[in-house]
Amino acid sequence: MFDQRVIEKIRGIWKTFDLSLGIPEIDKQHLWLIGILADLEDKLESGTKSELEVTFNSAINKTLDYASEHFALEEKLLESIGYTKLGQHRLQHMRFITALRNRARKSFEDDFEHAVSELVKNLKKWLFRHILSEDRQYVDSAQIHISDQITDWMQRHLQASSYADEIEKLYDIVVHSGKQEVSSEFKSLGEENLKLISDLWYRYKLKTGIAIVDIQHLWLLQLLVKTDKLYKQRLKQEINADDLSFQLKEAIHETIEYVREHFNTEEAIMHNFHYIGEKSHQKQHERFNILINDIIDRSEKEELESLAILIQDLKDWLVSHIAIEDKKLFYFFRSRLPEVNEYVRNLNREGRIHIWKDAVAIYKLLVDYEDITVEKSHQNRSPKH
């Protein structure tokens, strides 16, 4: 069984990304797979190379075995309820297993710790992204069509596993235990805040693929979530009105200042690399500044109803702008990302931008992954001219 530190990390992942599908038998298997990978990730940070090699090989084999076991149960469930996308779902599973087997066979002699760390991180991210997207698509159908008979055979399948007792114990500790501690990265950022941020991020598919842009977008979402919560508290008078009004104004100003810094960062990158849509993009930023000025004015006058509408408009505009306009940046810069990253590092060294530690932490939790089912040669291929 996993130690307390690992359990707190598993619980943080499970709760923050809302990974429960509401089907206990499937949830237990998902939780166990996340547990295997989180445990290996933890050992990466504390073990020696020789210990790590033994642990890694054991964990990868365990992941392969149990992933196959889980996929078999899930596919049988989907077949039994007549799920129309079973073929596509099965293909995702096959790609995962094939990719994991291929990676497991590779030699990591040059930089074992780094290579293993990247692989574990990517496996974990792939898994819960798969749960959040592909698996969520069958939930409504499953909850309608799952009968007592189907539940019985799923439970028998779980009980037949060699890990049955450990799986039940982990599920009880993470989901039902009165003690609900989570690891430090989730505490410092706030579980509820991360959950709201991740919901926006995944629902609207906001990843652009340019690291600094994604980091700043995530930090803006964090600031918007914080501002929205303070506004709701102010509305309900949950805290002293004067104190909360001050906090709300501070949060609004902090958000607006960071919006401006983000715009400056994007515009500096676009200008330096001669982005063909630079002027059009800048005009959108300029139009947005009108909304910003209105928000500042309303916050100073404490016009709460108008302010609520403007905060929502701010969020809607940013989400729309990121999802449509900012994604265009990636297609222009994708063959020059190393140059862009080096340029950004120079901006940071010169103090022209700020990359907050918590912003990087959010990025690592939500974005910093690689789809292991896509070959590197395809991922890095430059666009044809």
Per domain, the residue ranges of the chain are 4-182, 195-379
- Say which CATH superfamily domain 4-182 falls into: Hemerythrin-like (1.20.120.50)
DSSP 308-364: HHHHHHHHHHHHHHIIIIIHHHHHHHGGGHHHHHHHHHHHHHTTSS---HHHHHHHH
CATH topology of 4-182 equal to that of 195-379? yes
pLDDT value of residue 384: 41
CATH 3.10.180.10 fits 195-379, yes or no: no
pLDDT confidence of residue 339: 92
Residue 311 to residue 291: CA distance in whole angstroms: 10
Q: In whole angstroms, what is the distance from residue 223 CA to residue 312 CA?
A: 13
What the block records as the tokens of 24 is: 């206990």
Residue 214, Cβ neighbours under 10 Å: how many? 23
**Distance (Å, whole) CA 117 – CA 135:** 26
Between CA 10 and CA 376 the distance in angstroms is 29
Quick: pLDDT tens for 311-352.
788 888 888 888 888 989 988 998 998 899 899 989 888 888
In angstroms, the CA 298 to CA 178 distance is 43
Q: What is the mean pLDDT of each run of 10 residues along the chain (385 residues)?
A: 84 82 94 88 72 75 88 94 93 88 67 73 78 89 92 93 92 81 61 78 84 90 83 64 68 84 92 93 88 75 70 83 89 90 89 82 69 40 39
What's residue 270's pLDDT? 95
Residues whose CB is less than 8 angstroms from the CB of residue 90 and which lie 6 or more positions away in sequence, other chains included: 71, 75
Q: For 173, which DSSP code?
A: I
Nearest to 215 by CA among 365, 328, 379: 365
pTM over cut 0.85: no
